[in-house]
A and B are shown apart, each in its own frame.
Chain A
Amino acid sequence: MSNAHAANKSVLWDWLTTVDHKKIGILYLISGGFFFLVGGLEAVLIRIQLMSPEMAFLTGDMYNQVLTMHGTTMIFLAAMPVIFAFMNAVVPLQIGARDVAFPFVNSLGFWLFFFGGVLLNLSWFLGGAPDAGWTAYAPLSTQSSGHGVDFYVLGLQIAGAGTLMGGINFLVTIINMRAPGMTFMRMPLFTWTAFVTSGLILFAFPALTIGFFLLMFDRVFEANFFDANMGGNAVIWEHIFWIFGHPEVYILILPAFGIISEVVATFSKKRLFGYSAMVFATVLIGFLGFMVWAHHMFTVGLGAVANSIFAVATMAIAIPTGVKIFNWVFTMWGGRIKFNTANLFSVGFIPTFVMGGVTGVMLAVAPADYQYHDSYFVVAHFHYVIVGGLVLGLFSGLYYWYPRMFGLMLNEALGKWNFWTFFIGFHLTFFPQHFLGLMGMPRRYFTYPAEFELGSLNMISTVGAGLMSIGTIIFLINIVVTHVKGEKVSGDPWDGRTLEWAIPNPTPHYNFLQTPLVRGLDALWIEKMAGNKKMTPAEPVGDIHMPNNSILPFVMSLGFFIAGFGFIYFNTAGTPALIAVIVGLGIGLACMFLRSWIDDHGHHLHKEDLLKEDKGVDV
């Protein structure tokens, strides 16, 4: 990348201070990818323990720690950041912007997430990880001994603040920074889903923030919000958690829908079927996502009226989701479908997600949920939508946008091996779990007696998990091979339809030399069909204003990280913990002060230099 200012400094300094959305996207991808491997390792440990009846590999508390960290890591530290990686890497390009609205906040959001994630995972080395499940139901979480749950609360609080900032940033970016002519109804579907997801983050994460504060006060300062003996109420936690937690699954899945919409359209050589219906469905799913949280609580005892209302509301989500599925199938109808790896993942997504979706409707039948709830049926369902939906979508997006993000094309042969092993392994792992649940296997059990006849299906499931691991390893090999070979690709390797493919490779750090003029949906495709080699510019070449790099986000996050440690050990360490809190918060506040005090107007890239640099670039 051609950042003249960073060129003098070391590479490490450049990455620590960057405010470039494309680099932040890569940072999100690498750290999210790393946590994916950690969460995956935890999943493999779970499957080894459940391989056959009465195994003694991980028992009791150890198993609870592993399962808690698996869920927490995958949701908060793996899936969300990889989504943010794509949003950062793609959204500004798709809307023809030069950056996100608040580049400094973007960087701060990443570093908060990163330090929060590190803090949470340090619990493994500091006396034990959280063990109350990723849902951390009170009073199990408030009574949990050791500091595991404190790490959970503080780590996720810090990471969650970063996510909330990211969401707000993308809302503002998408509302304010679209290129001329890019009306809302001309936005690519991935941008639309990123937009709705950001809106969901804006409303869902504050609920989580409050929940974590209450839990922190119960644990650290001995409050009694959730203690029934002192007039508290444990079910309140469940409501707060799921008012966040249900939209969260849509925060995760909507961007995957966006990716599928882009990939399927590109590789069928067709525009998306029923674009406006897809947009409407996205918004409707986002809205309904907030209205159905109590379907996680059918067995809590809310009563028949509440259960009925939430059951029917939940079923309603199937309608817009069904619209999406049929629109994807009809996007392919009459097209010219190319089965490369990116599209294989998208095509594999469709039937898999339908299967996860129909079990979702089955779960919405409240009385039937009295049997499914907290059984392996639920485990099967949400892995079908989150792994079979989201992770297949993320793989698809990664193969699709890798040339954009890194200027390199992932190896196709290895990619196909990656797809088939992962895809078959996935179904082998999770399909039997539907039956395990119905046959009476509750979730979060570290063991089961031989007499219940659950052994063989569990064994199949474990074998599947092994196959998924092989798929993941092939993917890692693919990355290494691709970067060792390092064959450069053009800016538009897929004959793309949307604006991110209108930029030369490697992407200049100012994105568009001239802001493009958008003349319809699939803006680049329209220009291609009109016989143009380039996007029609909306402005003459001029000076470009860019933000300055800053180390403050990193230092500020480090400060909160230190303060987090202080709060975690507040009860047991006394004065040192208090000092950590004061120093940490002091660093954070000092950084905020500096950010407000120092005038930072950014810098300009001059027209003459830009034109010099632009020469010889082949579009």
Chain B
Amino acid sequence: MKRWLRLGRIVPLLGIMMLGLMGCGNEQISALQPQGKGASAVFDLMILSLAIMVVVLVIVFILFGYVLVKFRERKGDDSIPEQVEGNHLLEVLWTAIPIVLLVVLAVPTVTATFDLSVSEKSAEQSADGAEEDKGPMTINVTAHQYWWEFEYPDQEIVTAQELYLPVDERVNVNLSSADVIHSFWIPTISGKMDTNPGDKLENKMWLHPEKVGTYQGACAELCGDSHALMYFKVKVLEKDDFNAWVKSMKETKYDDAPSQVAQGQKIFESNCLQCHAVGDKGGNVGPSLTGFSDNEKVAGILEHNKDNIKKWINDPQDVKPGNNMPDFDFNEKQLDALADYLLELKTAE
């Protein structure tokens, strides 16, 4: 009876704990502030498991504390305690109760595991089943040392370092890697999933953001020197804004750069274009720079301004050790021109 009374006290405690946890950390990156369906489902499970575990902890700690105080050695007591062998009833009890608790936990665990996975069938259907013929949008994510490539195959656009998502819509994501194993993680929107090298090991997951905003993504699997610098931004937009962004990404032409940056464009085309794409030109060894100037960060980590662009081009190894960008030895004037040109690479409003 007494134990149930204690439980009665624990439940409101848990409520407070949950509220407390929800306010924890930076809202861009904390898993405790879910902003997407995947992250919310996981958060509910976390709270359920935490609740069960706190109950277990409280029971053990109470018993443990009682034993330590009650049965400590007292001065002058040399008696030999009764040598108890065991107690079948008690032992069965503390085997059975954990089994019940684990079943309570296991059922929602298995359910959520299937809900969060993308099976062949669900890949064909959107979340609400309304657009069965078309299905949800797909994004192909490719991880590189140390940057992210986002391809929208239906829209035929490619971005790097910034992932644009429409709000309140389920998006299927295919994950792969160009080099080593990375892990794609947007804590506020959904859990993580590894990106494995090789076609056979492509992974699927879905994202379903529920609130407009800018969130933080990261790489969660050790991938080399700059593993800790492999951040990306996630921009969740209203559906209309998202469509407008898609349209301007496709329509903005970069051929006719303003004359004041013509020199930068020339330097860029002869040095950078083999690796970096701008619009429909260029290679895909490095991040696409289409719409580069709309990004919040340079290289995913530095504040987006001219000084940082120059800093990055001047010595990429200093900013992100171990990355694959070569050192070009540009002089100050060339750096200025390049940075000016790059700052012009934005999509039309």
Taking beta carbons and an 8 Å cutoff, which residues of A are in contact with B?
A: 59-61, 63-64, 132-133, 137, 139-140, 143, 228-229, 233-235, 268-271, 273-277, 299-301, 303-304, 307-308, 311-312, 315-316, 318-319, 322-323, 325-327, 329-330, 332-339, 347, 350-351, 354-355, 358-359, 361-362, 364-371, 373-375, 435, 438-440, 442-449, 451-454
B19 within 8 A of A: no
Taking the closest CB of chain B, its distance from the CB of A273, in whole angstroms, is 6
Instruction: Say whether, besides A322-B98, A374-B221, A440-B30, A367 and B113 are in contact (CB < 8 Å).
Output: yes
Q: For the complex, give the distance between the alpha carbons of A371 and B32 in Å.
A: 10
List 24 A–B pairs whose Cβ atoms lie within 8 Å, in order of A's numbering.
A60-B322, A64-B224, A270-B83, A273-B86, A275-B85, A299-B220, A300-B196, A308-B109, A323-B91, A329-B63, A336-B77, A338-B73, A347-B68, A350-B64, A361-B49, A364-B109, A368-B46, A370-B192, A439-B30, A439-B32, A440-B26, A440-B216, A447-B228, A453-B26
Taking beta carbons and an 8 Å cutoff, which residues of B are in contact with A?
A: 21, 24-26, 28-32, 38-39, 41-42, 45-46, 49-50, 52-53, 56-57, 60-61, 63-64, 67-68, 71-74, 77, 79-87, 90-91, 94-95, 98-99, 102, 105-106, 109-110, 112-117, 119, 175, 179-181, 183, 185, 187, 190-194, 196-201, 203-204, 216, 218-229, 301, 321-322
10 nearest A-B residue pairs (beta carbon): A370-B191, A228-B198, A439-B25, A440-B29, A60-B321, A301-B203, A445-B228, A274-B86, A358-B53, A60-B225
Contacts of A452 in B (CB 8 A): 25-26, 28-29, 216
Q: For the complex, give the distance between the alpha carbons of A326 and B329 in Å.
A: 67
Q: For the complex, give the distance between the alpha carbons of A325 and B228 in Å.
A: 38
Q: For the complex, give the distance between the alpha carbons of A132 and B30 in Å.
A: 27
> Across the two chains, which residue of chain B brings its CB closest to A273?
B86
Contacts of A451 in B (CB 8 A): 26, 28
Taking the closest CB of chain B, its distance from the CB of A262, in whole angstroms, is 15
Q: For the complex, give the distance between the alpha carbons of A277 and B67 in Å.
A: 21
Contacts of B222 in A (CB 8 A): 64, 132-133, 137, 140, 444
Is A354 in contact with B26, judged by CB distance below 8 angstroms? no
Contacts of A454 in B (CB 8 A): 25
Contacts of B50 in A (CB 8 A): 362
Is A308 in contact with B91, judged by CB distance below 8 angstroms? no
- 14 other contacts beyond A139-B179, A374-B185, with CB at 8 A cut-off? A137-B221, A277-B86, A299-B192, A299-B220, A300-B203, A322-B56, A326-B60, A336-B74, A354-B56, A370-B42, A371-B31, A371-B187, A374-B192, A438-B32
Instruction: Say whether, besides A133-B222, A299-B194, A435 and B24 are in contact (CB < 8 Å).
Output: yes
**Chain A-chain B contacts (Cβ-Cβ < 8 Å), number:** 291
Tell me the dominant secondary structure on chain A's binding face: helix
Tell me the dominant secondary structure on chain B's binding face: mixed
Is B49 in contact with A368, judged by CB distance below 8 angstroms? yes
Indicate which residue in B30, B41, B60, B74 contacts A351 across the interface (CB closer than 8 Å).
B60
Taking the closest CB of chain B, its distance from the CB of A192, in whole angstroms, is 16
Contacts of A351 in B (CB 8 A): 60-61, 64
Is B190 in contact with A370, judged by CB distance below 8 angstroms? yes
Indicate which residue in B84, B113, B191 contacts A308 across the interface (CB closer than 8 Å).
B113
Is B98 in contact with A365, judged by CB distance below 8 angstroms? no
Q: For the complex, give the distance between the alpha carbons of A365 and B112 in Å.
A: 9
Contacts of B95 in A (CB 8 A): 319, 322-323
Interface centre among A374, A435, A440 (most CB of B within 10 A): A440
Is A61 in contact with B192, judged by CB distance below 8 angstroms? no
Contacts of B64 in A (CB 8 A): 329, 350-351
Contacts of B229 in A (CB 8 A): 447
Indicate which residue in A269, A307, A319, A373 contacts B192 across the interface (CB closer than 8 Å).
A373
Is A301 in contact with B185, judged by CB distance below 8 angstroms? no
> Across the two chains, which residue of chain B brings its CB closest to A373?
B192
Taking the closest CB of chain A, its distance from the CB of B110, in whole angstroms, is 4
Is B53 in contact with A362, judged by CB distance below 8 angstroms? yes
Is A371 in contact with B71, judged by CB distance below 8 angstroms? no
Q: For the complex, give the distance between the alpha carbons of A180 and B82 in Å.
A: 27
Contacts of B72 in A (CB 8 A): 337, 339
Is A61 in contact with B24, judged by CB distance below 8 angstroms? no
Taking the closest CB of chain B, its distance from the CB of A453, in whole angstroms, is 5
Contacts of B192 in A (CB 8 A): 299, 370-371, 373-374
Q: For the complex, give the distance between the alpha carbons of A337 and B77 in Å.
A: 11
Is B25 in contact with A453, judged by CB distance below 8 angstroms? yes
Taking the closest CB of chain A, its distance from the CB of B73, in whole angstroms, is 5
Is A368 in contact with B98, judged by CB distance below 8 angstroms? no
Instruction: Say whether, besides A354-B57, A435-B24, A439-B26, A233 and B301 are in contact (CB < 8 Å).
Output: no
Q: For the complex, give the distance between the alpha carbons of A354 and B221 in Å.
A: 28
Contacts of B63 in A (CB 8 A): 326, 329
Is A319 in contact with B98, judged by CB distance below 8 angstroms? yes
Indicate which residue in A276, A336, A358, A370 contacts B79 across the interface (CB closer than 8 Å).
A336
Taking the closest CB of chain B, its distance from the CB of A526, in whole angstroms, is 10
Contacts of A132 in B (CB 8 A): 222
Is B86 in contact with A276, judged by CB distance below 8 angstroms? yes
Contacts of A358 in B (CB 8 A): 53, 56-57
Q: For the complex, give the distance between the alpha carbons of A453 and B23 in Å.
A: 12
Contacts of B74 in A (CB 8 A): 336
Instruction: Say whether, besides A61-B321, A323-B95, A365 and B109 are in contact (CB < 8 Å).
Output: yes
Is A442 in contact with B102, judged by CB distance below 8 angstroms? no
Instruction: Say whether, besides A315-B102, A329-B63, A367-B191, A439 and B29 are in contact (CB < 8 Å).
Output: yes
Contacts of B46 in A (CB 8 A): 362, 365, 368, 371, 438
Q: For the complex, give the distance between the alpha carbons of A294 and B119 in Å.
A: 20
> Across the two chains, which residue of chain B brings its CB closest to A67?
B222
> Across the two chains, which residue of chain B brings its CB closest to A274?
B86
Taking the closest CB of chain B, its distance from the CB of A618, in whole angstroms, is 22
Taking the closest CB of chain B, its distance from the CB of A1, in whole angstroms, is 34
Indicate which residue in A311, A329, A446, A449 contacts B67 across the interface (CB closer than 8 Å).
A329
Is B220 in contact with A304, judged by CB distance below 8 angstroms? no
Taking the closest CB of chain A, its distance from the CB of B77, in whole angstroms, is 6
Taking the closest CB of chain B, its distance from the CB of A519, in whole angstroms, is 14
Contacts of A327 in B (CB 8 A): 86, 91
